Amino acid sequence: MFPSAPGPIGIFDSGYGGLTILHGIRQLLPQYDYLYLGDNARAPYGSRSFEVVYQFTRQAVLKLFERGCHLIILGCNTASAKALRSIQQRVLPEVAPERRVLGIIRPTAEVIGQLTTSRHVGILATEGTIGSQSYNMEIQKLHPDITVTGVACPLWAAIVEANEADSPGADYFVGKYIDRLLRRDKAIDAIVLGCTHYPLLMNSILRHVPPGIRIIPQGQYVAESLSDYLHRHPSMEQRITQNGTCHYLTTESPEKFKESAQIFLHEQVNVQHVDLD
C-alpha cells in the first residue's frame, strides 16, 4: 500500500509551531532527509475534540506514509496528547505495522526530573493539551515525586502566527498567563513550553519569569530522544534516506506557508500544497 523504499523522516504539525521541533532535530541530525507537513488550513487544533484531532492526525500520518516516510514525529503537542495513542494502537497495526509514529510529550517528560530541584513543574500549553492531562500523566508516571501544574494559554499560538510575538499585546498576554501559573504554585522552578509555538515568545517569557526558574522548550530534547531511538533501532535507521534535504507540504497556500515559515526558520523553503480530507 505504501512505498517500501527508504524515505525521509516525517514531521507533522497542525500549523507552523512544529517547525521549532524540526529545527531542533535538523541541528542535531542534519544528515537525514525530512518531510514536514503542516495542516495549516485547519489549524489550530488546540480547542478541537479528541475525535476531530485523531481524524485529522490520522489523515496526515497516512499522507506521510504515502510519501515514503517510515518514521513520523508528531511535532504538535495537541496531536501528541489527543491522537498519538490511538494512532499507535488503531492505525499502525491495521495499515502499517512496520512503521512508527512518535510524539513529543514523552521525551520532555523523560528529562524533566533532571531539570527541577524543587520537584514542582509548570506547563504552559494550549487548552487541548492542558485538558488532556497528558503532561501530568507522563511526568508523574516517570517521576511520581514531581508536582505538575498546568495553565492553558489560548492566545499565544495565534499571536505567534500573526507575527506579533514582539508586540506590546503579546507581552501583556505572556505576563498574564505566567502570573496565573506562578500564583497557583509558588514553588515551581521549571516551566515546560508545551506548545511548539511558544519558543518564539521567549524574549517576552524571560521578561516575566523570575530569576531561578528554568524555561524548557522541547526541540533539543525531542532531537536527543530521536537520536537515541535511531541508535536503538538500526533497522528503522536503515529505512531513512540521508541526503540532508528538507521539503515541506501544507494544506494551505504555499505562498502563505513560505511567508510564515520564515518567522520560524529564517530561510526560504520548498513547499507544495496537499489535500488531506
Nearest to 47 by CA among 137, 158, 144, 121: 158
Note whether 28 and 225 are within 8 A (CB). no
Active site (annotated) includes residue 195: yes
Instruction: Calculate the CA 106 to chain-centre distance.
Output: 11
The grid cell for 79 is: 496531536
Active site (annotated) includes residue 76: yes
Phi then psi dihedrals of residue 245, to 5 deg = -100, 160
| Residue from 69, 76, 153, 246 carrying the catalytic annotation | 76
| Residue from 69, 153, 195, 246 carrying the catalytic annotation | 195
The grid cell for 204 is: 517576552
User: How far is the CA of 234 from the CAs of 33, 70, 104, in angstroms?
Assistant: 16, 13, 21
User: How far is the CA of 90 from the CAs of 73, 95, 100, 188, 271, in angstroms?
Assistant: 17, 9, 12, 37, 30
Dist. CA 202–CA 198, nearest whole Å: 7
Place of cell 530541584: 117
Rounded to a whole number of angstroms, the CA Rg of the chain reads 18
Question: What is the set of active-site residues?
Answer: 76, 195
